[in-house]
Every structure is written in C-alpha cells, then in structure tokens.
Chains A and B, each alone.
Chain A
Amino acid sequence: MNPYELDFDALLTPGAWIALAPLLSIVVGILLLLVAEVVDALRPLRGVFFLGSLVVAAACELRVVGGPDALVSEGGSVLAGTLLADGASAAWGLVFITGTALAWAFSHGFYGGSEARYKDEHDVLMLTCPLGMMLMASAQDLIVFFLGLEVLSIPLYVLCAFQRSRSTSVEAGLKYFLLGAFASALFVYGAALLYAATGSVSLAELSTTFVADDASPLALAGVGLLAASLLFKMSVFPFHLWVPDVYQGSPTPVTALMAAGTKGAAIAFLLNASFLMPSGTAELLCVIGLVTMGVGYLGALVQEDTKRMLAYSGIASAGTIVLVVAGVLKSGAELEGARTAALYYMGAYVFAITGAFGVISALERDDGRFTKLESLAGLARSRPGAAAALSLFVLSLGGIPATGGFLGKWFVFAVLVRSGFAAFAVIGVLFSVIAIAFYLRIIVTMWMRPADEAGPVSEKASLPAVVATAVCVVGVLATGLAPALFLR
C-alpha cells in the first residue's frame, strides 16, 4: 500500500473513535477557549470549558480503561497501529488530565498585574500540554511520539517564561527552550538513524523484526540518541542540569504541571519502546538511575529554596522511575508489572508533587518570598491547613506509608527485586533516607520553628487552590490507603 494514500474509512474504525475521543475533547476545549477569548459573552465560561473538556476527556479515558469490545477486537492499537489504546495508555491519560486540572486550579490568582491580562492565553497553552503528553504516552510510532513531544514542549517553553516581569522566569523559558530544542533534535536524528538501519519507525513493526541484542551499530546509535532525548525530558542524569533553574524560575503552577506530566509521558513511551534497548544496558540504566537519585537527593539536601529543593527531588524521582525500565530490560517478562509500577508511582506522584508546588504557589506572593525555605517558618500556626497538606505531600514524596508515595516506591522496588537487582534496590532505598532528611527540613521549618520577623501572611488562598489542595490530599491518601481502587 502506498503510505501517502490514506484510506480514511479503514483508518477511522469504531475503535479509533473511542481511542481518539479524549484527544478530541481536549482539542474542542482548546478551540472553545480560543473563541471565548474574542467573544465577550463566552468569557465567564472559560473555566467551564477548561475543566469541562478535561472531565469529558477523563470520562472517555475511563471508557478505554474498561476495554470496550471495539478496541479489544482491534488489538489495543488504532490508526494503522500508530496509537495505543489500552488500559495502560488510558491510565496515563488520566494521570495527565488530573495533573493539568490541578495545576490549572493552582494558577488561579497566581499571576498578578500585567500577566493576569494574558491568563486566557495561559489557559490555552496549559490545556494543550495534556494533549501532547497523551500522544507521547500512547504513541506506537516514532513520528507520532515526536508530534506529541512538540505539542507538549512548545506550550511549555512559553509557559515557563510566562512571568515576563520576572527575569528568572524568562531565563527559565529560554534555557528550557534551547536545551529542549536540542533534545528534540536528538530524537529526530535518532529516529532517522533507526529508520536508515531498519526501514521502519513503527514500534509495532520493529517489535517483531528488531532484535536489540544483535542490531547494527547504526541502529544502536539511533536508539542511543532516542534514549538520550527521553532521559533529557525526564531529567535523568547526566541530562538533568537544566531542571533546577527551570523549575525554580518557572511560574510555580507551570512547574507543577511540568514535574509530573513530562516525566510521566516520557517514561510511558520509554517502557513501550524498551524492547529497542539491548538487554545489556539494564545494569547501565540501573546505575544511571541510582546516580540520578544520588545527585537529586544530595543536591536537594543543600538547597535553601523550596522550589529548587523540590526540583532536585524531582530529578531523584526520575532516577527512581528509570529503575523500572532497567528491571524490564533485565527480566523482559515483567513489562506488565513494570507498567503498573510506573503508573502507580507517577499517579501517586502527580498528587504529591502538584500539591506541593501548588501549596507553595498559593502562599507565594509577587516577591517570591515563599519559595524560600525559612519563610515557611511558623506556617503551622498561621496556616495549619496548608502546613498539614504540604507535610503530607512531602511525606508522600519521601515514601512514608499511608501515602501513595509509599506504595509507588514499593512497586518500583518490587520490579527491581524481582528482576534480580536486589542489591541495587538496597542502595536505592537507602537513598530515600537522604530524601527524608531534606523533606523533614521542610516539615521541621513549618512545625517546629517560630515564625520569622514578618511572619507568614495569613491572607486567604483562592478557592480553586483550596479545592485543588483538598483533591491532592484525598488523592495522596487514597493512593496510599485504598490502592485497590487504582490497580486495575
């Protein structure tokens, strides 16, 4: 068949519509937001459009999770095998949708002055992000993945630099853009080399023909470039250097979105494409993951800025999640368990990290004082609710039971132990002791130190932020206490 001749009837099967429905509903939401920007009568409805499209998308994803007959009969992938539509990809979609909705709620009332005037554009850009993430997580084709990557990255570049009045925000946007463009280029170059070596960019096709362990050097070079690009997006060592500056400089709600979403989308694809990597790289990935954890946790230990500290902890989380891929490469058979582990880890993570950045953003004033660790002193007295929520989030990030972070950590290390990497698992869990050391610094500051001279302000947080915080709290506890709800 000539690939340039598209047979739409054959492509758009009933299953394809089911699989595309979440993407389409977000596209409709984006279009409605754009219209609302110019039609004054629709302006009050912007929030409804934003959340509504996400809710509809989530409902559509839930339908995919249920595994409707139309999808099952088409083997879980649609559009000529370029897009996955199975339980895992739909679950990733739900993670991204949740993260976006939460980040958006925290962005309410966050921007002041001139930036508030451009909030419409901010929302459009923000709603575009989950579209890219979902494409990335379900891509079965390198080109589709690249589309997703750019659909996610380009809005993020803009969002990072959204606080134009703050030089650090502009710096963050520029840094992310320059390095991100470089990573995108790596991906395309890698895909080209792989195509040159194998004649295909389709994962479905490659998974039957490509044997990583005796692939040509050309193909392996391509795979290496692809992996480097993904590891860059996930902020894994040695591609993590951009993270602290970008996370710290970006507007906090955007950081929240970036922290969970980008990582999740990249790891989802990395797992789908893990068969491209030779099994001999398992140990290498394990070491990379552990080094990343070390760099992240040790880096976080010495930070005085909460956002920067969480950025380093984000690097460490990326290192943790890479371990799952190492486990898959080692044992091969554990792919399903690894998917569940990665999903659970990121699902719990999205509540905790978005909540943590969210609480900080809700406290933050224009001078950015609240991103400093010591300005959290005495928060437990002036804002006990916020302090309790933030404590819960960092405990979850540290993997203490009763929070989702514990089970996420459990599942990830279970993959490692079952793959025969028990020794690496021990090193990994010991790193989380360092993690707890700096998470405890946050808690100590809030609960056990008196307020500084000015004292934390006690102005009320905006309603959406409070609701979003509550959702995160419920999410963290539910993932920690009632995992049966999420494990399907």
Chain B
Amino acid sequence: MLTLLVFLPLVGALLCLLVPSSNRALLRMVALGTSVVVAAMGVVLFARFDGASAEAQYVASAAWFTLPGAGAIPIRMLLGVDGLSILMAALTAVLMPIVILSSWGHIGERVKEFLVWMLVMETGMLGVFLALDLVLFYFFWEVSLVPLYFIVGIWGGEKRLYATVKFFLYTLAGSLVMLVGVIWLVYAAGTADIAALTARASALPSETQGLLFGAFALAFAIKVPLLPFHTWLADAHTEAPTSGSVVLAGVLLKMGTYGLLRFGIGMFPTAAVAWAPLFMGLGAVGIVYGALLAMAQNDVKRLIACSSVSHLGYVVLGMFALTQVGLRGSVIQMVNHGLSTGLLFLLIGMIYERRHTRAIDQFGGIAQSMPVFAFFFVFAVLSSVALPGLNGFVGEYMILLGTFQASPFWASIGVLGVILGAVYLLSATRRLIFGPIVHAANAKLADLNAREIGLCVPVVVLCVWIGVAPNLFLGKLDGSIDALAERLDDARVAAAEAQADEVAAR
C-alpha cells in the first residue's frame, strides 16, 4: 500500500507527460485525479493506523542495491509508517489535491510542466516521510528539492531567479553535510535500516554521536528554517507562486522538523540531550525574532513567511524540551502550521489574483466586498494565533506546557511570542479586511467562487476537528513518542552516570 501511495503521484506525472500540453483540461484532471486518489489512500492509512504501537506499520520492502566495499551493506526500498510520520504523510496526501486545484487560478502558462513537477514533488515528500532506509531517505530528501526549484524559478514572482537559486543552494549545502554524516553512520553501523540504526547509533561514543548529530541537525535546521538560517525562506515564500508557497509551508518545511525528530533526537538521544538548550534557545529566539520581522512587513505574503519562522520556532522549542507533552505538541503543531499557514497562503493568492498586489496598504475594508473571503481569512488568522477551540491552541498550549517542565525561562519567552503573534496577525487583518474602503478597486472585488471555497473548506474542517477533538490525532502518536521518550530517559540516565563517574574519578 505504501509503495503505491509513494509512487502513484510519479505515475500521474508520467501520465501527464503523455498528454499534449494544449489539452489543459485533461492535464488538470489527470493531476487532480491522481492526487485525490493519493489523498483518499492517505486518509484510509490514517484511519487504520494503530497509534498504540511503536512499530512501523504497512512496511513494504524490496531489495535495491548493495553498497560496494567492505561489509556489503544492503540498501533496501524500505517504506513504513509509524507514529512520527503518520500525521505528516496524511497531511501531505490531503494538502496536495488542494494545492493542485488552487493552481488552476494562477498557473496559466506551461501548465503541463507545472503539474508534472507538483506530482514529482509529492512522490519526493511522501518518500521522505515514509522511507525507513537511511539512504532511501536521503535520496527522497534531495529529490524533493528539484521540483520546488523549478516551480519557484519558472512560475514565481519578479525576483524568482534569485529566490530559487538561494533556496536551492542553502538547502543543498546543509544536505551535503548530512550526506557525509549519512555515509559515515551507515558504514559505522553496518546497516542503513533506520530502525536498526536507531538501536545501534545510541551505542556510538558520545563525541561521534555529537558530530553526527551536528551534521544531521544542520541540514534539518536549514530546512526548518531555524534562526540563523531563515533568510532563504522569506525570499522563497514571497517569490513562489501560491501553490508553491502552500506546499513549502505546508509540507516541505516539515521535512526539517520531522528530520530533527526522527534523526536528530531519535537516533542520537545523548547528543540531543546535550544540545537541547541551544535548540530551545534558537527556537524561542526564532519565535520572537520571526514575530518582530513579521510586524515590519507591508507585503502580506512576506508577513506570513516571517510568521512561519515564528511558528516553526514553537515546533523546535517544544521538540527540544524533550518532554512527552512537548514532543506531542510539536508534532501536532507541525500539522497545524501546515493547515493554517497553508490556508493563509491560499487566501493571499486569491486576492493577489484579483488585485495583483500584496501590499497591505493597498487593501482595507474588503470585508464589505468579499465577505466570504473575510470569513476564511479571519478564521485562518485565529487558527494561527491559537484561539482556543481551534487547532493552533492545542499545539501551542502543549508546547508551552512541555517547555515549561523543561525550562520555565524559554517557555516564558515563547509566551511572549504568542502575544506578538496576535499583535502582528490581528493588526494585519484589521488593515486588510476591516475599516473603510480606501481604494476604489477594492469596492468591486468579486467574492470567492465555488472552487475557491471548496479549497478552503477541507482545511477549515480539519482545523476545527483538531481543535475540538485533538485526541483522535494525538492518539496516533502514543506508541512512537513513548518509545522516543524512553530512549531519551535512558540517555539522560547514562549522561548522569557518566557525569557521576567523572566526579568520582576526580
């Protein structure tokens, strides 16, 4: 089932290649149809997934090749889903039809290429989340870079070339350092199977673990992006076409946080415990810094991009609190950010298609001309600022609670970010949506059509669902997070013992 899930988009991409590029309707149907089928499979997978178990489920394995040289380490096409990846995989599958459908409004040129790249990217992203072989993971990790490079570079805004090359080089530089880490780890442990590696890596000497953790964490931190590696994100988000921004915010950035969770923390618990204060600090500073950046923006898309930096700061903060609640909160917050920020980018795309500007001061009062749009926008903003009853609240609350257990100081900085978040998002909303209509062009804007409403509704439903009944989603994490927390406890005990030995030796 997982093999089909991962490679079906690729099949769809190949089908699209066969359709003549003049036949746009058919192309769009093929792409949309593929992604809808994948989404349905993702939902079924989610529903059937047993959250109580820490084991990988629906494992599909096939021989791929054997590494040359000593040891003859087999590399397998090993796919499987566990508590760390189920939400990410399901989110990817569900967001993609929305993304593809949204592109009908703003991608009018080179439709075929666009859809092909989107579907290839879907395969890459699902592969990243579902790969259980380290080499396969790295393979998908880099493959998923290429489509976005083309999507931003061909269909992006004015400074697209600068943005896309910067994006590619930044993330590639991080990935390549990770590549050396991957090679080292695979040969040191004699296997590329992630489950076996997770068991064996914690036995490595702590200096080695530290170096490897550094190599992996750098790649993921750039992808997240964690301060100080965030500068590529604002450019890439601003210049990307709407659908590109949605994928970037919704899924691609999650590859970074997911990587930190599975590889950074999961594989090198000792190193993670040692480095946790640094990452919590970077996360918390990122929250505040991102929020301050967002306040200063007049381009609403750039504003949301900066808010992404802030929101992902929460994810990292909660994750490196290394507490049960914090870890759970950070995973659910990854989904939340994908949904609410994705929705915001969609909505901004819709008004950009109408006005061809994103400057906040060009708008104002559009609640009068576009009431439906205003409803969705306000909803997305409220979800983003964590209104109780919506998804954001669940995530941020758990993260702050988990962080407080580990470090009250960083938790209080995080709380500051919550306030700042409300400030910049709500004031942007006021300037965009409410007040009198200043510019005549805004008076006769057409409200959302059926397709656009259809894009927003599923996201809204999910936001409410997570907000009201989070346990359906959190329950899927139990087995894996418990196992992870157990490894972390072992690492802490071992570290404490080592310290005690050192003291005794003196």
Q: Which residues of chain B are within 8 angstroms of A483 by Cβ–Cβ distance? A: 64-65
Produce 1/0 per residue, A189-219, CB < 8 A to B. 0000000000000000000000000000000
Interface size on A, residues (CB 8 A): 37
Q: Which residues of chain B are within 8 angstroms of A482 by Cβ–Cβ distance? A: 65
Q: Which residues of chain A are within 8 angstroms of B161 by Cβ–Cβ distance? A: 444, 448
Contact between chains at A401 and B68 (CB < 8 Å): no
Name A430's contact: one of B146, B160, B173 (CB within 8 Å): B173
Q: Which residues of chain B are within 8 angstroms of A168 by Cβ–Cβ distance? A: none
Interface residue ranges of A385-411 to B (CB < 8 Å): 395, 400-402, 406, 410-411
Interface residue ranges of B39-92 to A (CB < 8 Å): 63-70
Rounded to whole angstroms, the CA-CA distance of A432 and B64 in the bound complex is: 26
User: Smallest distance from the beta carbon of A24 to chain B beta carbons, Å?
Assistant: 31
Decide if B138 is an interface residue (CB 8 Å cutoff): yes
Given A340-B68, A433-B169, A436-B169, does the pair A444, B142 have CB atoms closer than 8 Å?
no
Given A447-B150, A484-B65, does the pair A401, B187 have CB atoms closer than 8 Å?
no
Decide if A269 is an interface residue (CB 8 Å cutoff): no
User: Smallest distance from the beta carbon of A399 to chain B beta carbons, Å?
Assistant: 9
Produce 1/0 per residue, A323-362, CB < 8 A to B. 0000000000110111011001000000000000000000
Rounded to whole angstroms, the CA-CA distance of A439 and B172 in the bound complex is: 13
Q: Which residues of chain B are within 8 angstroms of A334 by Cβ–Cβ distance? A: 69-70
User: Smallest distance from the beta carbon of A389 to chain B beta carbons, Å?
Assistant: 14
Q: Which residues of chain B are within 8 angstroms of A426 by Cβ–Cβ distance? A: 177, 180
Decide if A139 is an interface residue (CB 8 Å cutoff): no
Produce 1/0 per residue, A152-185, CB < 8 A to B. 0000000000000000000000000000000000
Given A429-B177, A429-B179, A430-B177, does the pair A437, B165 have CB atoms closer than 8 Å?
yes
Given A415-B69, A487-B68, does the pair A400, B146 have CB atoms closer than 8 Å?
yes
Rounded to whole angstroms, the CA-CA distance of A436 and B169 in the bound complex is: 7
Q: Which residues of chain A are within 8 angstroms of B187 by Cβ–Cβ distance? A: 414, 417-418
Rounded to whole angstroms, the CA-CA distance of A483 and B77 in the bound complex is: 13
Which of A411, A413, A448 has most chain B Cβ within 10 Å? Answer: A448
Contact between chains at A337 and B173 (CB < 8 Å): no
Rounded to whole angstroms, the CA-CA distance of A344 and B66 in the bound complex is: 13
Contact between chains at A413 and B183 (CB < 8 Å): yes
Decide if A134 is an interface residue (CB 8 Å cutoff): no
Decide if B176 is an interface residue (CB 8 Å cutoff): yes
Contact between chains at B63 and A440 (CB < 8 Å): no
Q: Which residues of chain A are within 8 angstroms of B146 by Cβ–Cβ distance? A: 395, 400
Decide if A31 is an interface residue (CB 8 Å cutoff): no
Decide if B153 is an interface residue (CB 8 Å cutoff): yes
Given A337-B70, A413-B183, does the pair A440, B154 have CB atoms closer than 8 Å?
no
Name B183's contact: one of A406, A425, A437, A487 (CB within 8 Å): A425
Output the nearest chain B residue to A427 by Cβ-Cβ distance.
B180
Q: Which residues of chain A are within 8 angstroms of B135 by Cβ–Cβ distance? A: 410
Contact between chains at B69 and A413 (CB < 8 Å): no
Decide if A422 is an interface residue (CB 8 Å cutoff): yes
User: Smallest distance from the beta carbon of B112 to chain A beta carbons, Å?
Assistant: 10
User: Smallest distance from the beta carbon of A350 to chain B beta carbons, Å?
Assistant: 18
Name A406's contact: one of B65, B142, B169 (CB within 8 Å): B142
Contact between chains at A401 and B138 (CB < 8 Å): yes
User: Smallest distance from the beta carbon of A367 to chain B beta carbons, Å?
Assistant: 28
Q: Which residues of chain A are within 8 angstroms of B67 by Cβ–Cβ distance? A: 411, 414
Contact between chains at A401 and B143 (CB < 8 Å): yes
Q: Which residues of chain A are within 8 angstroms of B375 by Cβ–Cβ distance? A: none
Contact between chains at A444 and B153 (CB < 8 Å): yes
Name B68's contact: one of A337, A422, A432, A433 (CB within 8 Å): A337
Contact between chains at B183 and A410 (CB < 8 Å): yes
Q: Which residues of chain A are within 8 angstroms of B69 by Cβ–Cβ distance? A: 334, 336-338, 340-341, 414-415, 418
Contact between chains at A484 and B160 (CB < 8 Å): no
Contact between chains at B65 and A411 (CB < 8 Å): no
Decide if B404 is an interface residue (CB 8 Å cutoff): no
Given A433-B172, A447-B150, does the pair A484, B68 have CB atoms closer than 8 Å?
no
Q: Which residues of chain B are within 8 angstroms of A395 by Cβ–Cβ distance? A: 146
Q: Which residues of chain B are within 8 angstroms of A447 by Cβ–Cβ distance? A: 150, 153-154
Decide if B184 is an interface residue (CB 8 Å cutoff): yes
Interface residue ranges of A120-135 to B (CB < 8 Å): none
Name A436's contact: one of B139, B164, B168, B183 (CB within 8 Å): B168
Contact between chains at A425 and B180 (CB < 8 Å): yes
Output the nearest chain A residue to B149 by Cβ-Cβ distance.
A440
User: Smallest distance from the beta carbon of A482 to chain B beta carbons, Å?
Assistant: 8
Given A340-B69, A430-B173, does the pair A440, B64 have CB atoms closer than 8 Å?
no
Q: Which residues of chain B are within 8 angstroms of A417 by Cβ–Cβ distance? A: 180, 183-184, 187
Name A422's contact: one of B64, B143, B150, B180 (CB within 8 Å): B180
User: Smallest distance from the beta carbon of A435 to chain B beta carbons, Å?
Assistant: 10
Q: Which residues of chain B are within 8 angstroms of A436 by Cβ–Cβ distance? A: 168-169, 172
Given A417-B187, A448-B154, does the pair A402, B70 have CB atoms closer than 8 Å?
no
Rounded to whole angstroms, the CA-CA distance of A483 and B161 in the bound complex is: 34
Contact between chains at A402 and B143 (CB < 8 Å): yes
Given A444-B165, A447-B150, does the pair A401, B177 have CB atoms closer than 8 Å?
no
Rounded to whole angstroms, the CA-CA distance of A244 and B299 in the bound complex is: 46
Interface residue ranges of A45-62 to B (CB < 8 Å): none
Rounded to whole angstroms, the CA-CA distance of A448 and B146 in the bound complex is: 14
Q: Which residues of chain A are within 8 angstroms of B140 by Cβ–Cβ distance? A: 401
Rounded to whole angstroms, the CA-CA distance of A106 and B142 in the bound complex is: 31
Q: Which residues of chain A are within 8 angstroms of B66 by Cβ–Cβ distance? A: 484, 487
Given A418-B70, A444-B161, A447-B150, does the pair A433, B176 have CB atoms closer than 8 Å?
yes
Contact between chains at B142 and A401 (CB < 8 Å): yes
Which of B69, B146, B161, B184 has most chain A Cβ within 10 Å? Answer: B69
Output the nearest chain A residue to B152 by Cβ-Cβ distance.
A448
Output the nearest chain A residue to B67 by Cβ-Cβ distance.
A414
Rounded to whole angstroms, the CA-CA distance of A432 and B169 in the bound complex is: 10
Not counting A414-B67, A422-B180, A429-B176, a sample of 11 additional A-B residue pairs whose C-beta atoms are within 8 angstroms of each other reads A333-B70, A336-B69, A337-B70, A340-B69, A400-B146, A401-B138, A402-B143, A425-B180, A426-B177, A440-B169, A487-B65
List the interface of chain A (C-beta within 8 A of B): 333-334, 336-338, 340-341, 344, 395, 400-402, 406, 410-411, 413-415, 417-418, 422, 425-426, 429-430, 432-433, 436-437, 440, 444, 447-448, 482-484, 487
22 sampled A-B residue pairs with Cβ under 8 A: A334-B69, A334-B70, A337-B69, A340-B68, A341-B68, A395-B146, A400-B145, A401-B138, A402-B139, A402-B143, A410-B135, A414-B67, A414-B69, A417-B184, A417-B187, A433-B172, A433-B176, A440-B149, A448-B160, A482-B65, A483-B64, A484-B63
Q: Which 5 A-B pairs have the closest CB atoms?
A: A337-B69, A340-B68, A429-B176, A484-B65, A483-B65
